[in-house]
Structure 1
Amino acid sequence: MLGQRSPLYSCPPEIWTEILDFACLDDGFTIRSLCQVSPFIRARSIGHLHTSIHIESTYQLFKFDEELTRLESTCVGGKKPLRTRFLCIALPAPIDEEAYVPSSEDEPDDEYQPSESDSDEADETASVSSGSDASSISYEYEDLQEDEIEELVVEIRDIRKDTEENPTRALAIGDFAQLERSRAPEDQRQYLVYKALRRLLEACSETLETFALLFIPCVVLPHDTFIPALPRLQSLWIGMGKGTNLFHNYPGDRGSRAPPALFPSLRRLTLVTTLDVTWFEDLLQSVPNPSAVAFMGDERLKGGLKAKSIEPEQWIDLSTPDREDAVDFMITHWWEDVCGNDVSNIEGWKLLERLWSRKAEREEHRLAQLGDTDMTCFNVKLVDFRVPRLAFIQGSEYFVEKHCLSSRSKEFQDHVHLDDVTPNDFVLFLKMLYPLSNGPTFSRMDWVGILYLSTMWHFSDIRDRAIQQLDNLMPFPPKERVWVGQKGYVPRWVLSAYVEYVQGELPIDSGIGRKAKETLDELRDRLQDEWEINGYDPDAVEGEVRREFAQELSRLEYQVGKRLREAWEDE
């Protein structure tokens, strides 16, 4: 028994936090008593202090910065003051809004009543203004004299010459010193924020494993100016707000100053909001082994991966959440890392389910603007959506009959369970089904989701529009074209992908299916021998592919016709 390790040593930090919180309920009397009675417990608990840190405002960040000053004063021998493993910093308020606090002196006085003298002054001012307007109206245009024209030409020439010799450069703030020298209130504010961020990260740099940061700065600095080397960091989550012009003065060329390798142990990088490509590429240079990292982010950042030997399979498209959801999205993502759960597969993200209830409420409020009071409640993964059913009735007879939505039906239901769709997919389909006047904007992956649902539920008009939009976004990678074409029943996309595999130099991906890969390999080898003799014929290539895959293409054609019949048939 003496040789066995006590379970006391295996308790996670969260258990100790709960114990300490409970012990402090009586103004700390219990915890002080425990510390006096059992120095052993105190010694064991003190090591878990600040293992996880969650900051939700600049006020909390600055207060913790003050606490950090106290902790640093107790450290000896160059030891870091923090042993933090999990750090989450969410600063949802834009820094420029925090920098300018409205002054009470500028607010209008509701009790003010104009006096007679005020009225007289106003009349006098109006008279003067009227007189000036009259003089401006009577002004007659006069042509420039010849000497005036020559003088103007010389002045323009001098301006051009001065511009060429001394070109103006946009301000590019690239370090703390430039922010500190600036007298602008927003620059002073974000200088304090960046400084506190850097100081906190340096204090826990030796132990930090998961770091999540969301903030909305006025000026974005290069990441290595406020993020130090984090040798043990495995998961990095960065968001910088949405819809703001953050990168208008970001230095496009950093010269010979390449970002250092800051994240040697990084395994997952999540980027929320559309970041500047240059900033993203600089961030990638801090990852010594990018091929071992799983990336999640906006699909428009994929271009930065081409020069980094990163495979497309490493990237998962992640639609940017709304600004009001971004904080909850980040905290739930970070908390799953703290708990040790695997969130590397976006399809398994059950952690976001608690956000959908609020999304459902907002969607119900949005649809209420349409004025249609004939509502049906759709239950999607335990989340209720109350929406008008008119568009469902008009869009798909199949959907109406399957779920008994028609009021004429004897089995009419005003509460429908949809088990084969996620809340996120259903919200996406509702935005397509009930667009407001400005109309929604959808990404490529959004249109893919709309295609799947419109095919599954037999909304032929929406399906046609989704196919048209995806046609405009072509070409997809061949593997993705096969996958989308098979699942969305679009045989011509599958055919074009197979043709591209045969006539191109791309390796045939096994993800399209073992049988299809073997057939394409054999067909490519056979046709290449014929091309050496008879020359390349694109029509012949397509004909051969059609012949080899006639059964699959015919099945897709048949299935799409079967699925889009107006009358529902039980498959």
Structure 2
Amino acid sequence: MAQLSRILPPYATSSHAPFPREIWRAIIDFVFFDDPNGATLRSASEASRALRDLTYAHRHQSVILDGWEKLLSFEAYFCTLPTKQRRLVNLYVHLPEMYLDAYPKGRQATLEDPDNADWDDPSVYVGEDSDGEESEDGDVEFSSISKEEQAELAQEVEDLNEDAQDYSGYHGQDLSQLALDQSVLGRLEYKVFSALRRLLEASATTLSVLTLCWCRSSHIYTEAVIPVLPNLRSLAIHTMYGKYKANSTAPLHRSIATPVLFPSLERLRIHSDVPHMDDDFKVLTAPPLRFISASTSTYLQLVSLPETLEEVQVWAWDVKVDLRMFKSAPQDYDSKHLGKRLHRMKQETLLQKFKAFRTGNEKDAWDQRDASVFLLERFNPGSLTVQGFKRYWLEQLTFEEPE
């Protein structure tokens, strides 16, 4: 606020201020340009009603939502604001795993005494005998079944086949099928992801920098939660997969054409705790993308790379994963020379793949293309954590002049 006091005269908050509102807004734009934590904005808003009115366009330009409770609260508030006040430019969202919040009894049982847990874990099936008692492995007896039981089993098999056909149609491109999940975890994830989508839709025209760190159990595509963001320039996604699954883990397929979610995206940073097995990255790589930062496993699953790409940063998964990816075994190499050999092997593979993507002809000379590959041999593991992605978000902050 001291910075603002040096610029604004004592009568600046009066309706008789000597300058037009447009000039005061220009001054305030300058003051708040370097205010990522919002301290100056809060002080100015509390100083007077006039200053609060002048600074409305700067509110919520940069927002950090750490936890699903804060997301729900902010979304409910933000979506009720007048359109001219919805000027969210930089958004950071962190959604840890929700299983322990969905099943609070599980928190105590699993952390304090897992062997004497007195709660029902919905992910564990406990067999019962005909009297409803839990059966031991040694108590199982085999006997012939009657024709009636055979008919029942045949009907069950038929029902299972029909269910399998239903699961094969699980497209995961929206939240409609997650809405049918009646588990506590499924309902909670549906509520949270729906709120996140509404928040992004409400700020779609102004959002420029987005970082999403989330741990999900639902099997869905990115576009189920993230809508089209026409002005997004920087995107970072840190995906973790929960231990417990809320719905089917059958392979996803898209029933409609893949949408172009980010037509203005220039920078993309991706990290996941498991290799992806679907084509979710189709919605992430398109012109005018210039920069990609991802692991080798993620990078090698990219379906295509745009011609606008200028720089690729690649870091390794653990050594075993990389060696398996390039059809080599750890025991084939002396540990002393493993790092150099692995680095050279990755570099050759990446260059070949890059050439094939860019021109479709590996015979073309590498020096004829614009893109460059940076192998990060000693990439700092801390940058791949949630906190590392948060620091990256702070580095990408942008401030735009309100209309």
TM-score (norm 2): 0.59
Distance 1:198 1:212 in 2: 14
Deviation at 1:209, TM superposition (A): 0.4
The residue correspondences of 1:256-405 to structure 2 (distance < 5 A) are 257-273=256-272, 274=274, 276-284=276-284, 288-289=286-287, 292-308=289-305, 314-319=311-316
Change in CA separation of 1:156 and 1:314 when aligned onto 2, cut-off 3 Å: farther
Deviations 1:340-394 (A, max 9, x none): xxxxxxxxxxxxxxxxxxxxxxxxxxxxxxxxxxxxxxxxxxxxxxxxxxxxxxx
**What is the one-letter code of the residue matched to 1:50?**
H
The residue correspondences of 1:49-448 to structure 2 (distance < 5 A) are 49-71=59-81, 75=82, 79=83, 81-92=85-96, 94-102=97-105, 162=158, 166=162, 168-169=164-165, 170=167, 172=170, 174=172, 175-241=174-240, 249=249, 251-255=251-255, 257-273=256-272, 274=274, 276-284=276-284, 288-289=286-287, 292-308=289-305, 314-319=311-316, 441=320, 443=322
Verify the 8 A CA contact 1:201 1:228 in the aligned structure 2: yes
> Tell me, which stretches of 5 or more residues in structure 2 are unaligned?
1-18, 114-134, 327-332, 354-360, 370-403
Deviation at 1:272, TM superposition (A): 1.3
Change in CA separation of 1:14 and 1:100 when aligned onto 2, cut-off 3 Å: farther
Q: SS where residue 53 of structure 1 aligns?
A: strand
Change in CA separation of 1:304 and 1:11 when aligned onto 2, cut-off 3 Å: same
What's the RMSD between the two structures over aligned residues?
A: 4.8
Change in CA separation of 1:315 and 1:160 when aligned onto 2, cut-off 3 Å: farther
Deviation at 1:241, TM superposition (A): 1.7
Aligned to 2:40: 19
Deviations 1:197-241 (A, max 9, x none): 011111111110001111111103222222122111000111112
Count of residue correspondences: 303
Change in CA separation of 1:275 and 1:470 when aligned onto 2, cut-off 3 Å: closer
Change in CA separation of 1:297 and 1:474 when aligned onto 2, cut-off 3 Å: closer
Distance 2:107 2:248 in 1: 33
Distance 2:279 2:313 in 1: 19
Verify the 8 A CA contact 1:96 1:217 in the aligned structure 2: no
Deviations 1:270-316 (A, max 9, x none): 111145242433423xx5526x3321112112234354556986432
Change in CA separation of 1:261 and 1:186 when aligned onto 2, cut-off 3 Å: same
TM-score (norm 1): 0.44
Distance 1:230 1:510 in 2: 34
**What is the one-letter code of the residue matched to 2:249?**
N
Deviation at 1:96, TM superposition (A): 1.7
Deviation at 1:12, TM superposition (A): 3.0
Q: SS where residue 193 of structure 1 aligns?
A: helix
Change in CA separation of 1:65 and 1:158 when aligned onto 2, cut-off 3 Å: closer
Distance 2:160 2:109 in 1: 44
Deviation at 1:10, TM superposition (A): 2.3
> Tell me, which stretches of 5 or more residues in structure 1 are unaligned?
111-131, 321-427, 429-439, 448-459, 482-503, 513-571
Verify the 8 A CA contact 1:13 1:48 in the aligned structure 2: no
Q: SS where residue 190 of structure 1 aligns?
A: helix
Percentage of matched positions with identical amino acids = 20
Verify the 8 A CA contact 1:221 1:250 in the aligned structure 2: no
Q: SS where residue 75 of structure 2 aligns?
A: helix
Deviations 1:5-63 (A, max 9, x none): 76544233454932344468xxx5xx2xx32xxx2x33321111111111111111111
Change in CA separation of 1:105 and 1:18 when aligned onto 2, cut-off 3 Å: closer
Distance 1:91 1:173 in 2: 23
**What is the one-letter code of the residue matched to 1:90?**
H
Aligned to 1:48: 58
Deviation at 1:253, TM superposition (A): 2.1
Verify the 8 A CA contact 1:80 1:203 in the aligned structure 2: no
Change in CA separation of 1:235 and 1:253 when aligned onto 2, cut-off 3 Å: same
Verify the 8 A CA contact 1:81 1:204 in the aligned structure 2: no
Distance 1:241 1:186 in 2: 16
Aligned to 1:10: 30
Distance 1:478 1:192 in 2: 41
Among 509, 527, 536, which residue is 2:366 paired with? 509
Deviations 1:449-492 (A, max 9, x none): xxxxxxxxxxx964334356568x578248589xxxxxxxxxxx
Of structures 1 and 2, the larger Rg is shown by: 1
**What is the one-letter code of the residue matched to 1:464?**
H
Verify the 8 A CA contact 1:206 1:232 in the aligned structure 2: yes
Change in CA separation of 1:441 and 1:49 when aligned onto 2, cut-off 3 Å: same
Q: SS where residue 192 of structure 1 aligns?
A: helix
Deviations 1:157-195 (A, max 9, x none): 957994897472447373333323322000110011111
